[in-house]
Amino acid sequence: MEKIIDKIRKNSSESLDTWGVGYGHFCKIINKFALKTGAELGVAYGGHSEAILNNTKIDKLYGIDPYQHTIGYIDKMNYPQDEFDELYKYAIERLSRFKGRYEHIKKYSKDAVINVPEQIDFIYIDADHSYEGVWNDLCLWFSKIKIEGIIGGHDYMHPDFPGVKQAIDEFFSRFNWKINYEGDGVWWVQKKKINISFFIPAFNCSSTITESVNSITNNNISDGDKIIIVNDGSTDNTEKVINDLAVKHPYIKIINHKRNRGGAAARNTAIENSQHNLLFCLDSDNVLAPNSISPLKKFLIENGADCAAFQKIYFFKDDINTIHKKISFISGLITIEYCLGKSLTPPSSGNYLFTKESWKKAGGYPEFANALDTWGFGIQQLFSGAKMHTLPDTFYFHRRGHESYFIREDKKRKTSLTALQILIPYLLLLSKRSENYIMSRRGRYTWFENLDKKPLILAKSKRYTKKEIIIILKNRFSKIYKIYLKLRYGNLNKI
């Protein structure tokens, strides 16, 4: 009977003909950027770690591999535990000649991260090849890597592990970063500094905008961040106030609309003129809590989120030290079901951090939506696949009691009809009952105001073929589309 160690030696030798052909790729990257300290997740036989230590001038390599059998995980390297025990001994002996240059941490990735010092030059991810495994490793180790450092790994585009590429693409597309592919499954990305473009739509807000801007500039802005203020055709003293602020703070950019185009257009104009991949919308009458943005930014990055919102809102009138009301959202993941079941949600507040990529996928703020532009935008983000989370025990200050943008528009009594226009493209995803309700003669005028009492329900998930979708659209949307045209262009009172 073949001994376990003989089997391991045989498999290790054979791996040089498969994995081994790519060993040199990452070594070249280490040498190109003169990297000195790094970690490899998934050491296995030790061949890649050995190649790094032999062919680079790296000072320290941390090898992380628990050598533990995982029940239910499908991978030819998921050995029985007795074979893992022998494999561990084999790898440690193989790498022992490098002495202090190599240190092994026999733990899972999530447990080992605290044993590696801040900050290292690179991480090489080649452990759990499931989508969840790669995603979690990216979230866990991202903050450990220095700016200009390298995040890389193996098995990108491997046919047996499609989740590897999916996780990598989704994680880095949030920042529009290039994924470099060297061949033989080896990929890498250079970490860059991530800055925020704050933006403020401003219309006749001369009495409040200074406090809003100061809540950013005093302790919520980092080197390289920008503030964009779009003056949306103000007729009061707003233009002078914001120009004075721009003189005081050179990182403030002013854009003027010649006429009032509405909040959505002002927000879209700001984003179109932004240079950063993270964006924070702050209304011209709201106020950030001290030192609240840095943890929100860290939370978005390290949780793989596309949008990160404060969990709570503190409502005030004139003085943020006098709070009239507090509301709290659920902690963690915000789903489309949650946002279609409550009147107050992160999208309805509109003041949260998000990626420019999620803005593009959502199609921007809906400019027909008036005061529902932020709600509509958030709904579009979620329907387009954005991951939205709230950071527990955080808040911002929301002004109430004056003639705000929402109050001005809500007086026109078209809220539910406007919200219906936003949902028209997604009606196929609602349950038939919810669709009939919001399309009914009575429901279409009141459903949005009654969300807390009568939430909308999504249809049970079903994958439709392209042909099925076309048939459904023809049969089910002909009436809907006619109503949409009337909502958008016709006489609303005659619908």
Give the model's confidence band at 118: pLDDT under 50 very low, under 70 low, under 90 confident, else very high. Answer: confident
Side-chain-facing half-sphere of 144: CA atoms under 13 Å: 23
Q: Interhelix angle for 415-423 vs 466-489, to 10°?
A: 150
Q: Which tens digit of pLDDT belongs to each residue from 303-339? A: 999 999 999 999 999 999 999 999 999 999 999 999 9
Do 122 and 151 form a contact (C-beta atoms < 8 A)? yes
Report the DSSP beta bridge partners of residue 445. none
Residue with tokens 């803005």: 359
| Cβ proximity of 309 and 353 under 8 Å | yes
SS3 (DSSP) at 23:
helix
Lookup: tokens for 42: 């998934």
Report whether pLDDT(103) > 70: yes
Burial 103-117 (b: 16+ CB within 10 A, else e): bbbebbbeebbeebe
Query: Which pLDDT belongs to residue 296?
Result: 98
Q: Closest Cα to residue 354, out of 327, 389, 323? A: 389
Of 166-175, 227-236, 249-258, 414-423, the range with the lowest mean pLDDT is: 414-423
- 157-164 own/partner pairs: CB under 8 Å, 24+ apart: 157/181, 157/185, 158/129, 158/185, 160/129, 161/129, 161/130, 162/131, 163/129, 163/130, 163/131, 163/132, 163/133, 163/134, 164/129, 164/131, 164/134
Looking at the predicted structure, is the pLDDT value of residue 1 above 50? no
Nearest Cα residue to 416 out of 451, 459, 465, 365: 451
Q: Which amino acid is at 483?
A: I
Cis peptide before 119 (omega within 30 of 0): yes
Location of structure tokens 């003669």:
441
- CB of 251 closer than 8 Å to CB of 225: yes
Summary mean pLDDT of the chain: 90
**Closest by CA position to 68, among listed 90, 92, 44, 48:** 44
Instruction: Tell me the DSSP string of 316-373.
Output: ESS-TTSEEEEEEPPSEEEPHHHHTS-SS-HHHH---EEEHHHHHHHTSS-TT-GGGH
Of the pLDDT bands very low, low, confident and very high (cuts 50, 70, 90), residue 469 is very low
Chain-centroid distance of CA 359 in Å reads 11
Structure tokens at 43: 């050491």
Mean predicted confidence (pLDDT) in 357-376: 95
Mean pLDDT of 42-47: 93
Give the DSSP per-residue string, 233-271: S--SSHHHHHHHHHHH-TTEEEEEESS---HHHHHHHHH
pLDDT at residue 6 in the model: 83
Domains of the chain: 4-190 (3.40.50.150), 196-410 (3.90.550.10), 415-494 (no CATH)
The pLDDT of residue 439 is above 50:
yes
pTM here is 0.87
E-state strands within 131-268: 145-153, 180-183, 186-190, 196-202, 226-232, 252-257
In the predicted model, is pLDDT for residue 209 greater than 60?
yes
The answer to whether the beta carbons of residues 331 and 312 sit under 8 Å apart is no
How much of the chain, in percent, has pLDDT values that exceed 70? 90
Instruction: Give the model's confidence band at 363: pLDDT under 50 very low, under 70 low, under 90 confident, else very high.
Output: very high
Range among 110-119, 399-408, 486-495 rated most confident:
110-119
- Tens of pLDDT, residues 90-101: 999 999 999 999
Looking at the predicted structure, is the pLDDT value of residue 299 above 80? yes
- pLDDT at residue number 486: 54
Q: In what order do the strands lie in the sheet with 60-64?
A: 102-105, 60-64, 37-41, 120-125, 145-153, 186-190, 180-183
Per-residue model confidence (pLDDT) at position 93? 95
In angstroms, the CA 431 to CA 342 distance is: 17
